[in-house]
Amino acid sequence: MARSSTQRRTRGREGRRQRQSEHAPYRLGELHNPFPPVTVIDGDAIERIADAAFRLLEEAGLEFRSDRALDILKQNGAHVDRETSMVRIGRDIVQSFVQQAPSQFTLHARNPAANVTVGGGYVNFMPVGGPPNVSDLDRGRRPGDFESVSNLMRLNQALGVTQLAGASLGEPVDLPVDTRHLDIYLAQATLTDRVWNGRGIGRARIEDALDMIAIARSTTRQALVDEPSTMTVINVNSPRRVDEELLDGLMAMAENGQPCLVTPFTLAGAMSPVTIAGALAQQTAEALGVIALVQMIRPGCPVVFGGFTSNVDMKTGAPTFGTPEYVKATLAGGQIARHFGLPYRSSNVNASNAPDAQAVYESAMSLWAAIMGGANIIHHATGWLEGGLTASFEKTVIDAEMIRGWAEVLKPLETRDEDLALEAIAAVPPGGHFFGEAHTLARFENAFYEPILSDWRNFEAWQEAGALTATERANALWKKLLEEFVPPDLDPAIEEALEDFVARRKYDIEREQ
């Protein structure tokens, strides 16, 4: 009896694993980064940047374009100018609130196996967020539509390198603006089993996200407060302005115990000084000011310090990414976040107009800086092109390959006796080879990283197979993954409840208009 019960359990687990591997064949799982973060400035320089940020908050101040936010800030000791919405806050107040934010927290997914830890040595990838356009080699660049955006969700779920599902992976401009978020939420809730983001534009969209997540997780709204289950990106409208709709979204998130990724948009030379240190000082001031507000609303609420400092091309004013300046800002940003005990968000970004060599070398620079700089959440990890104006299907696959490689780099290099393999080495004569050795045969199947995109055949075999570039092979791979896509398990009753919720809310919103 006991045995058959075990068998049943095993079969059940096996069955689930098999189904899961069908819908996410390459799933990476949780990633822990064992490397101490690479640092680019010393402790004294961190103090100087922190001091400059505090002086900015004390003297120049930030503009908070929300009466409710101004009330909260004033109640907690900030100097508020109602006429200009300018807020100046002493460093003691800022520090006393910022230090209440946790340095690590858990995000709960509807599939508990997809829960993620944010902070410490954990690194989580999240797909591209919200570009107006989508592109692929077949149809070129075009405005985003719901079908393409849903396909990007499927592709990310199948590739399995993004532990977080993100928000809208492109802007579905074929859907009405006021209810668009509901369609996106329903797609995320059904096409992925991972944590997905609410849209932090106004309070209602956050409330809708929380309602739907409570349904999807078969729990209550109240329970979510202690189990963070979604995130949203709150960009500061740099320099020094926080817009009303974003503040409404932020306050709704904080009241509900959900983490925001507070990310100033400090492009050096345009929205911040032309010096990286100046941009970092401004980024720090803007992030800390908003994070203090979060802690005023709900002390201990999880929140993430977002770094997005890059520079612009001073000839054209165009934003640039993956530049040497971006690398240094990313590394320093992580040092500053950790200085304040906060989890750190960075990005995998580039400014290329095509999924080509430039897209890859700029992305590769962003990626190493983010990972080795100790980022805990790496946004825009798959698919970003054109400084964020386009979500690319081929770039999604290329990024997945790069992230899979990095995930393998983060695993330890073992040096046990069996790894050092002295006997195997002694057994092969000088000039011989190891292919047939017992040590090799026992290990070769799982010894090395296996790529999903790289073609390691010799030139002649590659040429015979059509001489396809990696970008062309990426095109074939995303189509295959979409064809074979199996959505993750979801109780039909939950799916129905989600659909009902969306229908009811759409009806309400349309009637309000």
DSSP three-state, residue 170: coil
Site for its own copies in 81-140 (CB under 8 A): 86
**What is the rounded distance in angstroms from the CA atom of residue 79 to the CA atom of residue 512?**
38
- State which residue, 192 or 323, has the beta carbon closest to its own copies: 323
Contact with its own copies (CB under 8 A) among 268, 297, 337, 370: 268
Q: Is 421 among the residues that bind its own copies (CB under 8 A)?
A: yes
Contact with its own copies (CB under 8 A) among 355, 373, 374, 383: 355
Q: Edge-to-edge strand order for the sheet containing 79-81?
A: 79-81, 86-88, 62-64, 241-242
Contact with its own copies (CB under 8 A) among 25, 77, 273, 341: 273
| Binding letters toward its own copies, positions 366-395, x by CB under 8 A | --x---x-------------x--xx-----
Considering only 199-207, 224-232, 315-323, 339-347, which stretch makes contact with its own copies by CB under 8 A? 315-323
**To the nearest whole angstrom, how small is the minimum distance from the Cβ of residue 25 to its own copies?**
18
Q: Is 357 among the residues that bind its own copies (CB under 8 A)?
A: yes
Site for its own copies in 220-239 (CB under 8 A): 237, 239
**To the nearest whole angstrom, how small is the minimum distance from the Cβ of residue 100 to its own copies?**
26
E-assigned strand segments in 395-496: none
Q: How many of the other CB atoms lie within 10 Å of CB of 383?
A: 31
- State which residue, 263 or 352, has the beta carbon closest to its own copies: 352
Considering only 157-165, 311-319, 336-344, 490-498, which stretch makes contact with its own copies by CB under 8 A? 311-319
Pairing of strands 304-306, 260-264: parallel
**To the nearest whole angstrom, how small is the minimum distance from the Cβ of residue 407 to its own copies?**
8
**To the nearest whole angstrom, how small is the minimum distance from the Cβ of residue 113 to its own copies?**
24
Q: Is 171 among the residues that bind its own copies (CB under 8 A)?
A: no
Considering only 9-17, 18-26, 360-368, 491-499, which stretch makes contact with its own copies by CB under 8 A? 360-368
Q: Is 158 among the residues that bind its own copies (CB under 8 A)?
A: no
- State which residue, 299 or 432, has the beta carbon closest to its own copies: 432
With beta carbons less than 8 A apart as the criterion, state whether 405 and 399 touch. no
Site for its own copies in 485-504 (CB under 8 A): none
| Token reading at 231 | 């995130």
**To the nearest whole angstrom, how small is the minimum distance from the Cβ of residue 315 to its own copies?**
8
- State which residue, 93 or 453, has the beta carbon closest to its own copies: 453
- State which residue, 248 or 399, has the beta carbon closest to its own copies: 399
Site for its own copies in 429-488 (CB under 8 A): 429-435, 437, 439-440, 443-445, 447-449, 453-459, 462-463, 467, 469-471, 474
With beta carbons less than 8 A apart as the criterion, state whether 350 and 383 touch. no
- State which residue, 115 or 353, has the beta carbon closest to its own copies: 353
DSSP three-state, residue 344: strand
Contact with its own copies (CB under 8 A) among 173, 201, 428, 486: 428
Q: Cα separations (Å) of 60 from 88, 102, 296?
A: 7, 28, 21
In angstroms, the first-to-last Cα distance of the chain is 62
CA 124, distance to chain mean position in Å, is 6
- State which residue, 131 or 198, has the beta carbon closest to its own copies: 131
- State which residue, 240 or 379, has the beta carbon closest to its own copies: 240
Q: Is 339 among the residues that bind its own copies (CB under 8 A)?
A: no
- State which residue, 226 or 417, has the beta carbon closest to its own copies: 417
Question: φ and ψ at 477, to 5 degrees?
Answer: -70, -40
- State which residue, 45 or 490, has the beta carbon closest to its own copies: 45
Question: φ and ψ at 216, to 5 degrees?
Answer: -65, -35
**What is the rounded distance in angstroms from the CA atom of residue 255 to the CA atom of residue 198?**
14
Nearest to 373 by CA among 352, 401, 348, 398: 348
**To the nearest whole angstrom, how small is the minimum distance from the Cβ of residue 134 to its own copies?**
13
Query: Which residue do the tokens 């979500």 mark?
Result: 391
- State which residue, 218 or 454, has the beta carbon closest to its own copies: 454
Nearest to 213 by CA among 233, 232, 235, 228: 228
Contact with its own copies (CB under 8 A) among 311, 346, 376, 392: 311
Q: Cα separations (Å) of 302 from 32, 111, 119, 226?
A: 20, 21, 10, 10
With beta carbons less than 8 A apart as the criterion, state whether 253 and 298 touch. no
Helices (H), 124-275: 146-159, 177-191, 203-216, 221-226, 244-255
**To the nearest whole angstrom, how small is the minimum distance from the Cβ of residue 405 to its own copies?**
5
Size of the site for its own copies (CB under 8 A): 116
With beta carbons less than 8 A apart as the criterion, state whether 241 and 286 touch. no
Q: Cα separations (Å) of 351 from 112, 172, 310, 313, 373?
A: 36, 22, 11, 11, 21
With beta carbons less than 8 A apart as the criterion, state whether 285 and 62 touch. yes
Site for its own copies in 29-68 (CB under 8 A): 35, 38, 40-41, 45, 48-49, 52, 55-56, 59-60, 62-63
**To the nearest whole angstrom, how small is the minimum distance from the Cβ of residue 33 to its own copies?**
12
- State which residue, 49 or 251, has the beta carbon closest to its own copies: 49
Pairing of strands 390-392, 384-385: antiparallel
**To the nearest whole angstrom, how small is the minimum distance from the Cβ of residue 513 to its own copies?**
29
